[in-house]
Structures are given as C-alpha cells and as structure tokens.
C-alpha cells in the first residue's frame, strides 16, 4: 500500500526532543520508551531493525535522567538513535546483516558509536543492512527484506536501508549508516529523509565491518539536515554561522551518462533548480567525459577490496555454508579480478578525481539528482529508464558512487514531489574538507525548497 509522504509520522527532531527533555516536558525514559515501541513496530512491520536493545536503552535513559536532574546533561543527552548493523555496539548483537554472524556480541563499541554515546546519545537498536553492506536493496533472507515505509511494495534502498526506513516510519529522528558507493544517500533519497557522507577520512572507521576500505565512509541519516548536523557536531563538523546566500555558486549536473532520469525525478529536479536559481548563482556544468570510466573503476575496487576482506576473515567452506547467495556470487567474481585490473582501476580513480577537482573549482558546490529513479519494487532485478536498461544496482549507484571514488563530501535532501509521488533526492556535493559548509548550504537549500513547496 502506498502512503503519501506527508502522511508518514516522524519522530520529533533531535533539537525539539532535546528542548523537551531540558524543559522537563518529557523524561529520557519516556522519550526512549516511545522510540523503543516505535522501533519494535518498525522491526515487525518493515524489517527496519535487526535487533532492539530495550534493556540497555532504558538503563541509559535512567542515567540520562539523573544527569538532567543534576544539570550535567551533554549535547545529545537522552536522544534516541539507530545504529546500522554493520557497526559494532558493545553487548548488542551485531550480525553485519549476515547469518554467518548471528549471536555476535562485540566487546567494544565502534569509535563512531563511542563518540555519540559520550555525547549522551542512546542507541535503541541495530538498523537493518544488506549483508555486509554489499547491496542497494537491504534485502535479506535472514532478517526479511526491509520495506520502504512510503510504499511497502518497494525497497528502501541500501545498504543503510534499515536506518532510512526507521527514520521515515518515525522510530528515530537520526542514526548512523555507512556509504561505500551511495549506501547512506540512496536510501535517504528513496525514503524521503536526509543522508550525509562527510569527506573520506573525516569519521573513524574502527569497529565498522569493512566493505572496501579505500571507499568506505561512515555517515549520518536524519529526518532533517539539522538532525544530521547535530550528530556530526560530535565529530567537530561544525555548521558555520551566517548565511551562504547569495554568494554560493552551484554547478548543476542534470544527468550522468549512460543512465537518464525518469520523468518523476526529472520534474522534481528541474523544479528545484528553478527555485534555487532565485537565490544562488546556478550554472550548468558542461564537462564532457567527466564521469568516463568511474563506475567501472568503482566496481573493480569494491570487488578487489571486498574479496580481500572476506577471504582473510573466513575460509571458503565457512563462506559457502553461511554467506548469502548474492555475497557468494560477488566473491566468486572477485576471484576473477587481477592485480592489473585493480591497478588500472586506481589509475582511473586518480584521473577522475583530478577531473572532478577541476570541474568543481569554478563553483562552490555541485547539485545533481541522488538517484535517477524513485524506489524500485521489491525483487525487481533490472530497470528501464527511457532507452536505457540495466540493473537496479547500476541505476541507483551511478549518481552517488563517483563521490566515494573521489572522497568528496555529499548529502541527499528530499525534494517536493507530486501528491502521492514517491520520494526524490537532491544531492549536493562540496570540496573535500568543506563538511560543515556543506551542511550549512544544505540547510539553506532545504529551507528554501520547503518555503516554495
């Protein structure tokens, strides 16, 4: 059943929740209890969560209440978050989306989790991921396919699909994901939420199961840009004060060959660019060949590095007995990649990164669609857009993977769509190191587009 986007309930934003806690209008136990109940429903109805940590979350909430009573609250004190099941959480089952790791209880938190807990955030559970984050649908034979809350016949995207679904269904306002080729931004776009991938290396990866270490980016998802900015603040990613308007220059990329835009995405993107032109200096970025070869390079790097990571952890018999069919097929393909293939892919990566630096040097930010289509249907292996046909994976990743290859920061924010339409994402890309400024301009674009919607 399809539900219009504006009919989906949302958890209160992190800032509103923090104000309610500080003013005593709700207790941390009350807030976390609500989040846990919603998470249980999200797990049951959408497979958005793999594990709920009711006892641990309520215990942490009680401690938060004591700190509020003593006036010792921290910036994220008592706020509920979801943590992708790829990311270690001490004493909370972390299966990496795989039957091979069912029952696995990490001894320590991942660094990124520790930093948020130290700021007072409370994980209520582990959000569903594609097995080992190696896919864009968050389908799972072990946990059940994650469903898109806006239309349960469709995927939420992946691999952080559980986090996006949990936010879109109102269980939490924000959470942690990972993004190797679009795995934060794709589900954000398909579920109508915000997904932010900072510059490569800006966030710690220790305690996160690697997919492709030279491409892996931890990231944040939230109902609004402000929600992801609050989490990013725990890592000294600060939003500058003041306004980027009207100075910011936007380079507009409408399409990335060979994948065109479907009609709904084209209409929403063109309307957004027209609205942005009133406040920003918008220029169509005409860079022939900018993206040539980048997706092929990305695919070779992922296969090579993913194969290395899995083959060094588990022997062939264990993989065959416990891994899912899709991951096994990818690992078989990984065996066919030669050292020469990998070296050529890395050279292609360097060439593309140099081209992207040149292209963005004339502007401040790039804007483009996050995905060329809205959420595909569950189990749909391929897709036709105009005269192009290809896999769902290629369609969803063509517009996002290049910025993992180059390590540039990128964010997806939802666009206004026709009544009853499925969500569409606008992707904004900044120069490396400009993470706080990217959040600032994204917030202003979010406000501008909301005002004209």
Token pair 């005269």: residue = 387
What Rg, from alpha-carbon coordinates, does the chain have?
Answer: 21
Which of the following is catalytic: 64, 95, 140, 183?
Answer: 183
Q: Rounded to an integer, what distance in angstroms lies between the CA atom of residue 195 and that of residue 395?
A: 18
Q: What are the distances in angstroms from CA 18 to CA 2, 76, 176, 238, 239?
A: 32, 7, 18, 18, 18
End-to-end CA distance of the chain: 25
- Three-state SS for 410? strand
Contact 124, 52 (CB under 8 A): yes
Please indicate whether residue 159 is annotated as part of the active site. yes
Which of the following is catalytic: 84, 126, 197, 431?
Answer: 84
Please indicate whether residue 335 is annotated as part of the active site. no
Please indicate whether residue 59 is annotated as part of the active site. no
Enter the DSSP assignment of 292: T
**Residue 285 neighbours by CB under 8 Å, 6+ apart:** 251, 252, 253, 359, 363, 366
Residue 320 has a CB neighbour count (10 Å cut-off) of 11
Which of the following is catalytic: 50, 95, 98, 159?
Answer: 159
- Three-state SS for 393? helix
Contact 146, 191 (CB under 8 A): no
Select from 166, 177, 151, 192 the least CA-distant residue to 376.
151
Residue 102 in tokens: 């069912």
Phi-psi region of 246 (alpha: psi -120 to 50; beta: other; left: phi over 0): alpha
Q: Rounded to an integer, what distance in angstroms lies between the CA atom of residue 7 and that of residue 340?
A: 52
Q: Any idea which residues carry the catalytic annotation?
A: 84, 159, 183
């Amino acid at each position: 059943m399809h539900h219009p986007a504006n009919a989906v309930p949302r958890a209160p934003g992190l800032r509103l929740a923090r104000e309610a806690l500080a003013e005593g209008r709700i207790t941390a136990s009350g807030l976390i209890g609500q989040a846990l109940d919603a998470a249980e429903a999200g797990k049951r109805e959408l497979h958005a969560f793999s594990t709920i940590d009711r006892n641990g979350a309520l215990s942490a909430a009680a401690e938060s209440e004591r700190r509020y009573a003593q006036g010792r609250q921290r910036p994220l004190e008592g706020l509920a978050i979801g943590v992708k099941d790829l990311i270690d959480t001490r004493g909370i089952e972390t299966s990496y989306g795989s039957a091979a790791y069912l029952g696995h209880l990490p001894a320590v938190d991942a660094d990124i989790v520790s930093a948020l807990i130290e700021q007072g955030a409370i994980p209520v559970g582990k959000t569903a991921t594609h097995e080992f984050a190696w896919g864009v649908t968050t389908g799972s034979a072990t946990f059940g396919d994650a469903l898109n809350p806006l239309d349960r016949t469709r995927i939420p995207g992946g691999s952080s699909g559980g986090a996006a679904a949990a936010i879109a269904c109102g269980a939490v306002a924000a959470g942690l994901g990972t993004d190797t080729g679009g795995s934060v931004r794709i589900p954000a776009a398909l579920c109508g939420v915000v997904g932010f991938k900072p510059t490569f290396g800006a966030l710690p990866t220790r305690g996160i199961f690697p997919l492709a270490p030279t491409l892996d980016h931890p990231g944040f998802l939230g109902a609004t840009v402000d929600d992801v900015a609050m989490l990013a603040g725990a890592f000294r990613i600060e939003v500058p004060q003041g306004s980027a308007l009207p100075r910011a220059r936007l380079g507009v990329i409408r399409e990335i060959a060979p994948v065109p835009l479907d009609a709904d995405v084209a209409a929403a993107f063109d309307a957004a660019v027209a609205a942005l032109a009133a406040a920003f200096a918008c220029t169509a970025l005409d860079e022939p060949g900018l993206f040539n070869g980048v997706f092929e390079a990305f695919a070779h790097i992922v296969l090579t590095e993913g194969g290395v990571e899995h083959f060094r952890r588990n022997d062939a018999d264990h993989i065959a007995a416990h891994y899912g069919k899709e991951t096994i097929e990818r690992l078989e393909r990984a065996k066919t990649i030669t050292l020469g293939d990998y070296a050529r892919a890395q050279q292609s990566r360097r060439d593309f990164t140099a081209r992207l630096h040149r292209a963005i040097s004339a502007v401040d930010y790039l804007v483009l669609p996050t995905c060329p289509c809205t959420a595909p249907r569950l189990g749909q292996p391929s897709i036709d857009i105009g005269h192009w046909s290809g896999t769902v994976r290629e369609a969803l990743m063509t517009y996002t993977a290049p910025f993992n290859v180059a390590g540039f920061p990128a964010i997806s924010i939802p666009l206004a769509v026709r009544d009853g339409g499925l969500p569409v994402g606008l992707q904004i890309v900044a120069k490396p190191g400009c993470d706080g400024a990217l959040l600032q301009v994204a917030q202003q674009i979010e406000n501008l587009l909301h005002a004209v919607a």
